[in-house]
């Protein structure tokens, strides 16, 4: 009955698409996160610029569609638009994995350069799957959360590590830990019940999940700078008149610029919140950094071997 009710609800939402006046945008993260706040601004700009003729409702915190189901829901037209963490698409095509390769791009400048290198391939792949790429929002660089200090990977040996994408599962393997898939809302319970003992994620996720309640240490390894992407169903987008399409793309450009401009300040703010709540925040030891960089090289090579042509083009554009 619950599945039937959910199908009827989503079906009812999708039926409004034919009028092109009421769209629904599920997002995976709560209202305290920067990507969600930008999504609200994005929807408001579109409503204002179209004089209310296109009204996008943002359903935050996976309240309408579970995170892992958002891509399929947009692709099939069950919803007209959605936001997702790009890395969760890694099993669908290797071009999506650029977003979760550790130590390939560890600064915001390099992450933006990597995104520009990968964007043409990502857009083509999304287009084949019936989706239009609208914009991205970067997350703060990823750090290591643990209950005990970590000076080398041996300190994590045998522990259970949170994973949230194919690449983070592989990372956990190479770190000598056991990957356990846990989505954002389930992090506190997973730690409190012993399902995981460590994770690599942003200071923002640490704040929204109140990491200080279950871990004591945050090692700022700056492993990579991942992104959320916002996509629209291609058929729904094409049904709109050209003027409305342009309004959406302009709002998307503004949203992307806002996200990249604000992410650095949000990272600093959220890291300070971790400190204020009693967590020990430190840079990685030389030994740990060397071990993690070696893993990054291994994962980059494995990524290249998955799709030499596509990945080679991305890396060539990035490194050239």
DSSP string, 151-203: SSGGGGTT-EEEE-SHHHHHHHHHTTSEEEE--GGGHHHHHHTTS-SEEEE-H
Residue 195: both structure tokens together: 């399902």
**Residue 129's pLDDT is what?**
96
Residue 281: both structure tokens together: 């925040």
Residues belonging to the chain: 320
**Residue 17's pLDDT is what?**
42
**Residue 9's pLDDT is what?**
56
Environment class of 180 (CB within 10 Å of its CB; exposed 0-12, middle 13-18, buried 19+): middle
Distance, CA of 83 to CA of 317 (rounded, Å): 26
Distance, CA of 207 to CA of 215 (rounded, Å): 12
Residues in the chain with pLDDT values less than 50: 1-2, 4-5, 8, 14-18, 20
**Residue 4's pLDDT is what?**
43
**Residue 191's pLDDT is what?**
95
**Residue 184's pLDDT is what?**
83
**Residue 115's pLDDT is what?**
97
**Residue 256's pLDDT is what?**
97
**Residue 10's pLDDT is what?**
56
**Residue 18's pLDDT is what?**
43
Distance, CA of 71 to CA of 84 (rounded, Å): 7
SS3 20: coil
């Amino acid at each position: 009955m619950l599945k039937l009710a959910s199908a009827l609800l989503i079906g009812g939402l999708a039926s409004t698409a034919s009028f092109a006046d009421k769209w629904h945008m599920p997002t995976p993260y709560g209202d305290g996160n920067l990507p969600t706040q930008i999504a609200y601004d994005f929807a408001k700009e579109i409503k204002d610029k179209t004089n209310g003729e296109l009204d996008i409702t943002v359903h935050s915190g996976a309240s309408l569609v579970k995170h892992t189901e958002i891509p399929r829901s947009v692709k099939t037209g069950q919803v007209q638009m959605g936001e997702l963490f790009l890395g969760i698409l890694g099993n669908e095509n290797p071009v999506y994995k650029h977003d979760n390769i550790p130590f390939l791009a560890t600064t915001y400048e390099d992450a933006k350069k990597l995104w520009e290198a990968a964007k043409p391939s990502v857009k083509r792949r999304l287009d084949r799957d019936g989706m239009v790429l609208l914009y991205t929002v970067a997350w703060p660089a990823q750090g290591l959360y643990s209950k005990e200090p970590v000076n080398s990977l041996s300190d994590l040996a045998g522990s259970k590590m949170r994973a949230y994408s194919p690449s983070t599962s592989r990372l956990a393997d190479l770190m000598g830990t056991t990957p356990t898939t846990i989505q954002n809302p389930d992090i506190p319970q997973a730690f409190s019940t012993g399902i995981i003992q460590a994770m690599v994620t942003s200071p923002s996720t640490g704040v929204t999940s109140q990491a200080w309640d279950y871990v004591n240490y945050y090692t700022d390894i700056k492993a990579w700078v991942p992104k959320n992407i916002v996509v629209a169903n291609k058929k729904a987008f094409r049904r709109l008149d050209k003027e409305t399409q342009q309004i959406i793309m302009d709002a998307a450009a503004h949203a992307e610029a806002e996200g990249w401009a604000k992410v650095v300040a949000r990272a600093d703010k959220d890291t300070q919140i971790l400190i204020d709540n009693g967590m020990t925040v430190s840079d990685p030891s030389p030994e740990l950094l060397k071990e993690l960089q070696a893993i990054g090289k291994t994962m980059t090579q494995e990524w290249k071997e998955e799709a030499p042509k596509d990945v080679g083009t991305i890396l060539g554009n990035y490194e050239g």
